[in-house]
């Protein structure tokens, strides 16, 4: 049996997509370890109801530790094909290797109890790492928002210049999304429950001690206690998948903004360590934001798969349950990687104020046309038509004689000053920062 590095999918791309730290937490070997951890806890809980001895629990724990360390995932996968899940052959192996009665292993459980509880363990651990990444990304967004609280820039709607805002206000929108995602994921992870119901979800094999047994198992594994077995009530899965989808969306927004603002023609931001090109020496690609986008884009489809698997029939699903295992594993890996890469991008983000100023002045004041319309309307009835015609034709509003005939140069200078039309941009930054700071 190989004892080399933990195998997991995607080592070629994990570093690119930010998952190189997290991937081992959801690897095939991590799955085996979690399955055996559940089996060890089952035997330990069985001691409390007289179905196993302390010596049995110690023997099972020793055998489980050895199998978790040494057993080849590929070999277990081949053995699992006959029964449709890896728990069946793993229980047989554990009974062979443990110096304990067969009845002290897998006490009162069914395969789904072990698979679901193991998935909850993996999700709790990988999710905790992702929460850390979300904290780092949000802290970086908060720093950018604070530093550029009042830095004017042009806001864009539907891809076009709209009105002045501040870079801090834009970064505050990133911060708010990341804080929201952290809250959602945190709640989903805290609620992850143990699964223990036995063959048909009635805990018959350990009655009348089933409820106490299930609660003790949850406590040993550090999972939430179940209300009832949830073999075919997949709320823990759908809640987790949805929270991961929210997190991926919170990543996609700032990552997309950064990629667009880093375009040569816009040039408003750049990353601390931009990537190059194999063919073009001049390229400075925002690779961290690009990678974050790439990982996050794969998440919604997997969320949809998880939600589509909620229709578990009767007391055990044929196929819908099986489809969840790799779906949730990949969701955890991709979402965590996306958040981590965004954190890198935000932590090293350079904001080019000169480019912000240049782009804000690009229309010659046309973006402040609504202010000019309001002022001009006090003098003439067709103010809107005149200002619209000037803006569309490209004439500067402070140079159009139809406007300057009624508004002085000084009045127009004030009307066309973008720093005087920022609304509550700085107040909104303060609110976002106060909410983020209150989370500490």
Instruction: Grade residue 1 by pLDDT with cuts at 50, 70 and 90.
Output: very low
Residue 187 neighbours by CB under 8 Å, 6+ apart:
243
Q: Which residues are CB-neighbours of 365 under 8 A, at least 6 positions away?
A: 372, 396, 397, 398, 416
Active-site residue, selected from the candidate residues 239, 298, 316, 384: 316
H-run or E-run covering 349: strand 349-351
| Rounded CA separation 234/416 (Å) | 57
Average pLDDT over residues 229-236: 98
Instruction: For residue 126, give every residue at least 6 positions away whose Cβ sits within 8 Å of its Cβ, in sequence order, or none.
Output: 22, 25, 26, 332, 333, 336
Q: Residue 255 belongs to what H/E stretch? A: helix 235-261
CA angle at residue 70 from 52 to 1, to 5 degrees? 130
Structure tokens at 52: 């196993």
Confidence check: pLDDT of 440 > 80: no
As a whole number of angstroms, the distance between CA 82 and CA 355 comes to: 63
DSSP lists the bridge partners of residue 193 as 224
Domains of the chain: 11-357 (1.20.200.10), 365-415 (no CATH)
- Distance between CA atoms of residues 156 and 95, nearest Å: 64
Do 286 and 259 touch, CB atoms closer than 8 A? Answer: yes
Indicate the pTM of the whole model. Answer: 0.93
Q: Do 252 and 293 contact (CB within 8 A), yes or no?
A: yes
* Segment 91-130, tens digit of pLDDT: 999 999 999 999 999 999 999 999 999 999 999 999 999 9
Q: What is the pLDDT of residue 273?
A: 75
Q: With cut-offs at 50, 70 and 90, classify the pLDDT of residue 274.
A: low
What digits encode the pLDDT tens for the residues 186-199? 999 999 999 999 99
Peptide bond before 270: cis, by omega within 30 degrees of 0? no
Q: Which helix (H) or strand (E) element contains residue 350? A: strand 349-351
- Decide if 308 is catalytic: no
Say what the pLDDT of residue 9 is: 61
Mean pLDDT of 34-38: 98
CA separation for the pair 147, 172 (Å, rounded)? 11
Handedness of CA 165, 167, 171, 172 (dihedral sign): negative
| Local confidence band at 294 (pLDDT 50, 70, 90 cut-offs) | very high
Q: Kindly indicate the confidence band of residue 276, based on its pLDDT and cuts at 50, 70 and 90.
A: low
pLDDT, averaged across the chain: 94
For 157, the enclosing helix (H) or strand (E) is: strand 152-157
pLDDT over threshold 70, residue 282: no
Roughly what angle, to the nearest 10 degrees, separates helices 28-47 and 73-80? 70
Cβ 244 vs Cβ 332: under 8 Å = yes
Query: 117 an active-site residue?
Result: no
Q: Is the pLDDT of residue 2 over 90?
A: no
What tokens appear for 213 in the block?
A: 């047994």
pLDDT at 3 over 70: no
424 CB-contact burial (10 Å; exposed 0-12 / middle 13-18 / buried 19+): exposed
Provide Rg for the chain, Cα atoms.
Answer: 29
Lowest mean pLDDT among 5-9, 279-283, 334-338, 339-343: 5-9
Give the per-residue pLDDT at 12.
Answer: 86
Which residue among the candidates 277, 408, 420, 431 is catalytic per the annotation?
277
pLDDT score of 199: 95
Task: State the residue for tokens 């042009």.
Answer: 154
């Amino acid at each position: 049996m190989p004892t080399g590095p933990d195998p997991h999918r995607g080592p070629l791309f994990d570093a690119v997509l930010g998952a190189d730290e997290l991937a081992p937490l959801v690897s095939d070997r991590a799955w085996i370890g979690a399955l055996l951890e559940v089996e060890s806890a089952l035997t330990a809980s069985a001691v409390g109801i007289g179905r196993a001895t302390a010596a049995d629990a110690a023997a099972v724990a020793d055998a489980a530790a050895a199998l978790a360390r040494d057993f080849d995932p590929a070999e277990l996968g081949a053995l699992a094909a006959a029964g449709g899940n890896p728990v069946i052959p793993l229980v047989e192996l554990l009974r062979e290797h443990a110096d304990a009665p067969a009845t002290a292993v897998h006490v009162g459980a069914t395969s789904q109890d072990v698979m679901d509880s193991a998935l909850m363990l993996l999700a709790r651990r990988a999710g905790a790492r992702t929460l850390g990444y979300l904290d780092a990304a949000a802290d970086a967004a908060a720093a950018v928002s604070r530093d550029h609280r009042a830095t004017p820039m042009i806001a864009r709607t539907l891809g076009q210049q709209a009105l002045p805002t501040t870079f801090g206000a834009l970064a505050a929108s990133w911060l708010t999304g990341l804080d929201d995602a952290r809250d959602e994921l945190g709640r989903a992870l805290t609620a992850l429950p143990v699964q223990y119901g036995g063959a048909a979800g009635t805990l018959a094999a350990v009655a009348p001690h089933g409820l106490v047994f299930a609660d003790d198992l949850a406590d040993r594994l550090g999972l939430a206690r179940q209300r009832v077995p949830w073999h075919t009530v997949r709320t823990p899965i759908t809640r987790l998948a949805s929270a991961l989808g929210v997190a991926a969306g919170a990543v996609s927004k700032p990552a997309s903004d950064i990629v667009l603002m880093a375009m040569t023609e816009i040039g408003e931001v750049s990353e601390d360590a931009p990537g190059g090109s194999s063919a073009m020496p001049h390229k400075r690609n925002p690779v961290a934001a690009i990678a974050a986008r790439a990982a996050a884009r794969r998440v919604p489809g997997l969320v949809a798969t998880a939600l589509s698997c909620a229709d578990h029939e009767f007391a055990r699903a044929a196929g819908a349950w099986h489809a969840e295992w790799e779906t949730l594993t990949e969701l955890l890996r991709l979402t965590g990687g996306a958040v981590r890469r965004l954190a890198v991008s935000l932590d090293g983000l350079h904001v080019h104020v000169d480019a912000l100023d240049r782009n804000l002045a690009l229309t010659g004041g046309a973006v402040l046309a609504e202010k000019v319309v309001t002022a001009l309307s006090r003098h003439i009835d067709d103010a809107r038509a005149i200002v619209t015609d000037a803006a569309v034709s490209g004439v500067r509003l402070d140079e159009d004689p139809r406007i300057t005939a009624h508004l002085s140069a000084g009045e127009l200078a004030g009307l066309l000053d973008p720093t005087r039309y920022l609304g509550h941009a700085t107040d909104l930054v303060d609110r976002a920062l106060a909410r983020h700071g209150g989370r500490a």
